[in-house]
Structure 1
């Protein structure tokens, strides 16, 4: 993908989000002797999305912070505009998945389609060997097999390997993640020592284009559609109330239903064609079998036989014991114990120890 630079100093593109993590990643790569160029991807225009942008990543304030850190490091810096691709690849898919009843994970898609694809291409075009990000994960090469491995970050509370499972062998060979062996407290200390403007900046928690968390309002504004009210149904199909649009509810949701049925109820299913939302007791949320497609394998070239793994079906979920089996178009994951609300649209990511085996997008679940 990227040819070696004949110069003595290896060249690296630093993906700078404006946060403390990518700033420290830039600093560490400079200290390691790399010739670094900072790049911020402009992914949205916040005014267009109706957002102030001050609590998101990739906002105007983030661009200012990234530029100031790059200046402090005496490092070349550019802003690249990818708003059109971000709209097509991320925002429109996000809306499409919600409208068909799933729950998307746009951060995974952004890493796959935007950050590592576009930045690696840009790096290659400009003679750079590596793309560097501030993710808390590790990239290592297996000496025995030659395969590149993705491993969990050593800071368990910050590990981001889950959202990087789509990285390919070719990409991993040209990616450097200098924070993988550090804890967040160490990263902030480095930033303070260098007087970075963002040393105490809060981490971005929300979807960058929906910083207030009201994704249904964003979808209606973006599409000019109105998602109409419909029926809440119980497990027998009886109408028990009126909801405010099926896209507004996710599997496992309890709060905000506005139902008084004598016992707590949770969203257990949605029929987007009929615009109905089925509610029931929490016991109805548990499933043991998950099917996934659009699979990417990292530690192995392909799955040819059942393997014992641990797995996550949500970003911050504790890993659970399971067995993965080859299946048509992907894999079948059977957990030792039923899991609460594994949801189509989310990712099932598989681990063996601290190594990411691979992962895929959940398409359906079974009891």
Structure 2
């Protein structure tokens, strides 16, 4: 097959490209230039979209012996990921830009362009497995190494996208991949993993959002409505946050307080004890299915954040809304996050959380 290897400049994508070539495929490497000003994105160990990453990807392609190109996807990335990130925080939600990038850039814009150019599939260094079911459909499953499993951020893929994808690393550990990269002579063998948000150059997300959104004054209140402090923007807070609240005085019972709710119109941020974060139900919108959608109620597990715990659940689809009842309550779940549904190790699909239901029948959180 003719395959396009998306090469980020890290060790995983380099080894994935090398394995695709070893398997006999006609491989071409491509690095995605995602920033209109690459110096504004992270560099070094914390980056994934920098100029040095592009150079690392090029050197890896040379060692592997495959053609290499850089595709400018900066406009698409800014519109679909960065602008969405800003709008979601302004609306009081907590988005995951990596899921959005996978959905709109790596497995939509890139795959569409690849297929139009005559490629059969896109290969990436994500840790997930693809298996062919008895009916011939391609299913996505968790990676063998659950510590590195990235199926959560791939839960936005459709069945057609999965059918044109390759994930060669799904049966390996990170240490095994690094040792293989070293044997292959790849300079990125021991390059640190990227972390956090690539387009927030200094890692200060609240400060970055303040620069984009300006000052939007509001107050932090307790559950009784008492004003504890003023703030300059509710976008600086997330559901479940404990650190950085700067409340000035402790709660009456001396226990720490957490963000329970964010009301972006008034700018009111409500805080309270940790146990009031517990939710036992979710509503999801914009569902995406990696195969056939559930028919009736599905007993399953769900994951609510990257590298988070699995929760036993029952889900049912009602039109374009996904209802999730959690058998194991979860803490600190915010609208805007993704709920990814699993049947065993198989990824069923995902939805964007629009509301949560607190334990003991409290009013749903926005």
Q: Secondary structure at the match of 1:358?
A: strand
Query: Does residue 287 in structure 1 map to residue 242 in structure 2?
Result: no
Alignment partner, residue 310 of structure 2: 319
Q: Secondary structure at the match of 2:189?
A: coil
Separation in structure 1 between the aligned mates of residue 207 and residue 68 of structure 2, nearest angstrom: 35
Q: Secondary structure at the match of 2:284?
A: strand
Q: Secondary structure at the match of 2:85?
A: helix
Q: Secondary structure at the match of 1:198?
A: helix
Separation in structure 1 between the aligned mates of residue 36 and residue 192 of structure 2, nearest angstrom: 21
Query: Does residue 266 in structure 1 map to residue 255 in structure 2?
Result: no
Alignment partner, residue 166 of structure 1: 156
Q: Unaligned regions of 5+ residues in structure 2, if any?
A: 359-366
Alignment match of 2:175 (pick from 182, 185, 189): 185
Larger mean CA deviation between 241-250 and 182-191 belongs to 241-250
Aligned positions of 1:141-220 closer than 5 A: 141-143=132-134, 145-220=135-210
Query: Does residue 63 in structure 1 map to residue 54 in structure 2?
Result: yes
Alignment partner, residue 339 of structure 1: 330
Separation in structure 1 between the aligned mates of residue 118 and residue 328 of structure 2, nearest angstrom: 50
Larger mean CA deviation between 60-69 and 161-170 belongs to 161-170
Aligned residues: 353
Aligned positions of 1:119-130 closer than 5 A: 119-130=110-121
- Identify if the C-alpha distance between structure 1 residues 59 and 48 changes in structure 2 by more than 3 Å, giving closer, same or farther: closer
Q: What is the Cα deviation at residue 327 of structure 1?
A: 2.5
Alignment match of 1:138 (pick from 129, 136, 139): 129
Alignment match of 1:238 (pick from 226, 234, 238): 226
Q: Secondary structure at the match of 1:267?
A: strand
| 1:63-104 deviations in Å (ceiling 9; x for gaps) | 000000111112100000011111111100000000000000
Q: Secondary structure at the match of 1:122?
A: helix
Alignment partner, residue 299 of structure 2: 308
TM-score using structure 1 length: 0.93
Aligned positions of 1:10-159 closer than 5 A: 10-46=1-37, 49=40, 51=41, 53-54=43-44, 55-143=46-134, 145-159=135-149
Q: Secondary structure at the match of 1:279?
A: strand
> Is the 1:243–1:257 contact (alpha carbons within 8 Å) kept by the matching residues of 2?
no
Separation in structure 2 between the aligned mates of residue 169 and residue 271 of structure 1, nearest angstrom: 36
Separation in structure 2 between the aligned mates of residue 58 and residue 113 of structure 1, nearest angstrom: 16
> Is the 1:206–1:212 contact (alpha carbons within 8 Å) kept by the matching residues of 2?
no
Separation in structure 2 between the aligned mates of residue 59 and residue 71 of structure 1, nearest angstrom: 19
Alignment partner, residue 3 of structure 1: none
> Is the 1:46–1:59 contact (alpha carbons within 8 Å) kept by the matching residues of 2?
no
Separation in structure 2 between the aligned mates of residue 52 and residue 116 of structure 1, nearest angstrom: 23
Separation in structure 2 between the aligned mates of residue 158 and residue 46 of structure 1, nearest angstrom: 31
Alignment partner, residue 362 of structure 2: none
Aligned residues: CA RMSD: 1.4
Q: Unaligned regions of 5+ residues in structure 1, if any?
A: 1-9
Separation in structure 1 between the aligned mates of residue 67 and residue 357 of structure 2, nearest angstrom: 52
TM-score using structure 2 length: 0.93
Q: What is the Cα deviation at residue 47 of structure 1?
A: 5.0
Separation in structure 2 between the aligned mates of residue 329 and residue 128 of structure 1, nearest angstrom: 33
Query: Does residue 366 in structure 1 map to residue 363 in structure 2?
Result: no
Q: What is the Cα deviation at residue 52 of structure 1?
A: 5.1
Alignment partner, residue 253 of structure 1: 241
Alignment partner, residue 4 of structure 1: none
Separation in structure 1 between the aligned mates of residue 233 and residue 122 of structure 2, nearest angstrom: 42
Q: Secondary structure at the match of 2:351?
A: strand
